[in-house]
Structure formats: C-alpha cells, structure tokens
Structure 1
Amino acid sequence: MSFGGAGGSVWLMPLRLIASDLDGTLLRDDLSVSPRTRRALDAARAAGIHVVPVTARQPVGVRRIAQGAGFDGWALCSNGALGIHLTTGEVLFERHLAPEMQRALAEAIRQQVPGTVFASIREAGEGFYAQGEYADLASETDHKRDPATMGRYSLDEVLSAPSLKFVLRHPEVSPPELLVAVRALGLTGFHATHSGAAFVEVAAEGITKAAGLALLCENLGVAQADTLAFGDAPNDAEMLAWAGRGVAMGNAHPEARAAADEVTLSNEEDGVAVVIERALAGLG
C-alpha cells in the first residue's frame, strides 16, 4: 500500500473504511464541513466505502454536524468506548470505567492537584453528571452541550456509577499538565488522554479510538489493512498507528504526527478531502 503527498503515488490496496476524527480534522475551525470535504465523503460512500466519525464527542455532539457531513450510520464516540448507529440508535458496544477505578483516580489526583473537578458520561453518551464546580467552569463548546444540562452533582454522585468517559479539569492547571500529573500517579486500570479540549479524558484500560475502530471493523468484516484514518490530537495517535494508513493533519499535535504514516494539509485547507480524492483516483 502506498499513498504519497502531492504528485506522489496512489492507493494500491483495497480501501473499505475511512475513519475520521471531527474537531480539528474533518471540521473547519468554525465547526462546519466544507463543500469540498462533503463531496469527497459522498464520493467515498458512493464507492461502497464506510465513512465513520471517530470522536471524543458524544452522540449529541456528532448529530450536530451529521447532516452537514452526511453521517447516518455507525459512529465511534467517547474516544472509542461507544459504538452507536446514528439513525437506529443501536448500540454495538459500550466499554465502561468502573466506579472503584474512578474513585481511586479522583482521590489520588485531588491530593496531588487540589481543585481538580470531575464529570461522568454515561448512558450511551446521553447522560452527563458533573460536579457543580465542573459545570461552573464549562462552556457549551467544551462538550457540545449547554452546561445547564450537565447537572450539578456531588463528587460521590459523580463517582457512583460506571462511565464511558470520566473527565477531569482544573480552573488553572492546563490539560497537558493535568495529564502529566495523572500519569505520574503510578495507577493502572485506565487510559488517560486529551483531545485539545479543556479537560483530561479517562476511559477503561485498553480503550482508545484504535480499540473501538478494531471492534467496528470486526463487526463489518473490514480488514485492518483496508482502513484509512485521519486525526490531529493526542487521542488520535493510537488510531493513526493502527489503521492501514494513518494521516495526520497539517495542524496536528506532535503525538499525532509521530504516529501517522503521512501528514496532509490542515483542517482549514481541506486536508481530509485531498487525501480521499487521491485515494479514490487510485482505486479508479
């Protein structure tokens, strides 16, 4: 398989599934899908290729842009912890972080970084249970939902049930700094990452976008080698490394770039569309 940059080689192996991150990747900075990108996605679907959003967002956040992108099938949400069909609502899989792991992490990080606050995402991504202090810090752009819909719960209530995604944030400590602190705790049993948003995202051990994509591909009968993936953030790195061809955006974080096979143009320059167009030309 080979797919190069400008004037380079073309796709020489079957392409059956395109997996794309949304924010900073498929979407422009104003959260829209460009006409060129929409045409490329439609052309891929017309060629019989699965086109799947793979995102840290929940279904409510994916549905906000689904019409513009033409998404009406499977989506991978919560960084790969949830596989859900956007039209039927069928849940293919859910992978949860256990309450005892959440509590151990919360107690440990609060000792190391006092003032850290938490939220729990549950119920196929529809339930959002935030500490009151978390909701006070949040804006609608953070989780693609009105903070008034997050609830205002005690820490015990937030920790009381399994989470698809367990979220940590701090009013002063940046997400990359908070992630370093989480990883320095020496705890196991979870996977922590960040997506460029204002918080750290924690899932069950082994749950990444790559793991979720592997489960979906198994269900669809798609080989790993026949996948093309796009991403820009640290939470995309595992997926870019796993896919048959991983493509980082021109605006990508160094972790995503290091994991990818190649780098395309930025999300503002239709980088996803450029690669899809060349791939389809090679298949033709």
Structure 2
Amino acid sequence: MSRRLIAFDIDGTVFYKGLPPSERLMRAFEERHKAGDIISVSTGRCRSIIPAPIRAQGFIDYMILSNGARTIDARTGETVSFTPLPHGEAARAFSLVTGRPSGCIYYESGIVMDRGGSIFIAYPKGATREEMAMIDEIRRETRLVFNAKKHLLKCGSPIEKISLFFRDKEKSKESCELLRENTALTVAFTYGEMELTANDVSKGRALVELSKKLDIKKEDVISFGDSGNDLSMKESSGCFVAMGNAEPFVKEAADIVAAPVWEDGVAGVLETL
C-alpha cells in the first residue's frame, strides 16, 4: 500500500476551546505514522503560536503555516517553501478596506496587532482554564502597536499573512469584493476573520508542493478542516474531510463529513484507514 500524506487543520479540527487533543486522537495519528504515513499540520497560525500540545508530538513531519505561506520541516524547523506577502500589496490592502477593521500581521517570529484588535485576544465570557491558557500563549507572541499599516511600512521583515477583524459584517463583504477586484491577493474567510496572503498562496497550494516533494500522488492525500481557509485543500487531496462542526458550505464541499471535533471526528476517520 502507498504511503499517505495526512494534513490537518488545528482550530476547530483537532483543538476545541483550548482543550488539548485527546489520547485517542494522538494514538490514531501515531498508528498512521508507524504505518509509514506522513503527517502535516495545515493551519492559519504562524510557527510561534502553534499550541504546545501539537508542537510536542513526535509524529508530526511537516507544518503548513499561515494558510500556506510557509511550510517547515517540523523536526529541524527549516523552511521548505515560503511565499511572502509583498509589503506594497499589504499596505494597499489596508487602504482599500472599509469599516476600520483591526489589523493583525503575521511574521515568522510572531504577530503584530493594532491596539484596537486586543479585544480579539481577550478572554471570552465563561472561558475555561484551557481557553485562557491558549489565549495567554498567543498574547505572549503578540506585539500591540498603534497602527498596523504604519508598522508594516517601517518594518522590513517578510510578511506571511494579514488578518482583518471586522465588527460590521456588511463592511467585511464590501472590503472582500474590493480586495478581490483590485489586488492579486488571496482572500479567505474564517468565522468572520478575513485572511490575506500573497497571490496563489493557500493551504491547498502548499499541500500540492509538499506532495510533489514527497512524491505522493493526489489520491493518497487526506486532509481535514472546518472552515473557509481549509477548502483549498479539497482540490489537492484524494479525500477532503470536513468536521461535523464545520461551516455548512465546507461540509457541502467535503468528500466525507466526520463527527465534530469534540467527538474526535479526525480519529474516527483515521481508525478506518
């Protein structure tokens, strides 16, 4: 049997409300790894905010980060591929959007966020101890600035991704249309968050490149996700699995709909392989 490439999103797919992945899920991944399959994270997070319970797993071979902008070897930390978001295009995106969204810039070393965006890393009402710990971990890697756009114009560090948080849904839709019509950026939505990467950058594109590097055929690629930024993996996989808690349009596009993340949906599929 051919070895497989198994790619999985983190938030909403194996991580739920800050709770670490279950023993059952970790065991399922371990068994697939022992069988010779290659395991890769595929997330919108940058390297510095990958949850500790995920980073600690020895079965993870690769990490697709910032919606596909960067792929790294999980063991060595070396970059396998990287497509930065041009600073000029990033600044132009900030100029085009309406509704004064809060901006968040992802670099390899961490995150820079508008001070107005700090509410998005505040503890939600009724947060569990695990959720607070996860938010604390993100806070430690986040630098607050007065104006994210001005920061990126001054900072020369390569940009992986920009996230924009809108309080007004209509403004987010309007901005999305403006960006798609007037820039070459890739625009994805994840539960009200608009994510911008360089042209033709996506989790799916990164998965294609990783598959080629590993000489693994598309039909031997399995991917798991729950939101809009995961959909690009469908065209790069022989089987795209949506979580039971996924957004409706993601479930409609999926080859398989697994049980929700809190019922170990990923493990349920892996155990049938």
Specify if TM > 0.5.
yes
The answer as to whether partners of 2:5 and 2:216 remain within 8 angstroms in 1 is yes
Shift of residue 137, structure 1, vs aligned partner: 4.7
Runs of 4+ in 1 over 6 A off after TM superposition: none
Say how many residue pairs are matched.
258
1:7-46 → structure 2 map (5 Å cutoff)? 14-46=2-34
CA–CA separation in structure 2 for the residues paired with 1:143 and 1:105: 29
The answer as to whether partners of 1:241 and 1:259 remain within 8 angstroms in 2 is no
Give the SS at the match of 1:133. Answer: helix
In the other structure, the counterpart of 1:101 is 89
Shift of residue 71, structure 1, vs aligned partner: 4.5
Structure 1 alignment gaps of length 5 or more: 1-12, 280-284
CA–CA separation in structure 2 for the residues paired with 1:67 and 1:105: 32
Distance 1:94 1:275, change over 3 A: same
Distance 1:178 1:65, change over 3 A: farther
Range with bigger deviation, 45-54 or 140-149? 140-149
In the other structure, the counterpart of 2:246 is 252
**Deviations 1:156-209 (CA, angstroms, capped at 9, x unpaired):** 123444420012123x225xx55422222122310111333x632110111111
2:164 aligned with 1:168: yes
1:65-214 → structure 2 map (5 Å cutoff)? 65-66=53-54, 69-109=57-97, 112-113=98-99, 115-122=100-107, 125-135=108-118, 137-139=120-122, 144-146=137-139, 149-154=142-147, 155-160=149-154, 161=156, 162-170=158-166, 172-174=167-169, 177=170, 179-185=172-178, 186-196=181-191, 199-214=193-208
**Deviations 1:216-250 (CA, angstroms, capped at 9, x unpaired):** 11111111111011111111111123211111111
Shift of residue 128, structure 1, vs aligned partner: 2.0
CA–CA separation in structure 2 for the residues paired with 1:222 and 1:178: 42
RMSD: 2.3
**Deviations 1:239-269 (CA, angstroms, capped at 9, x unpaired):** 1232111111111112321321111111111
The answer as to whether partners of 2:87 and 2:152 remain within 8 angstroms in 1 is no
Shift of residue 129, structure 1, vs aligned partner: 2.3
Shift of residue 142, structure 1, vs aligned partner: 6.3
Percent same amino acid at aligned positions? 27
Give the SS at the match of 1:25. Answer: coil
Structure 2 alignment gaps of length 5 or more: 123-131
In the other structure, the counterpart of 2:47 is 59
**Match of 2:78, as an amino acid?**
E
The answer as to whether partners of 1:264 and 1:272 remain within 8 angstroms in 2 is yes
Distance 1:108 1:143, change over 3 A: farther
CA–CA separation in structure 1 for the residues paired with 2:136 and 2:183: 26
Give the TM-score of the pair, scaled to structure 1. Answer: 0.82
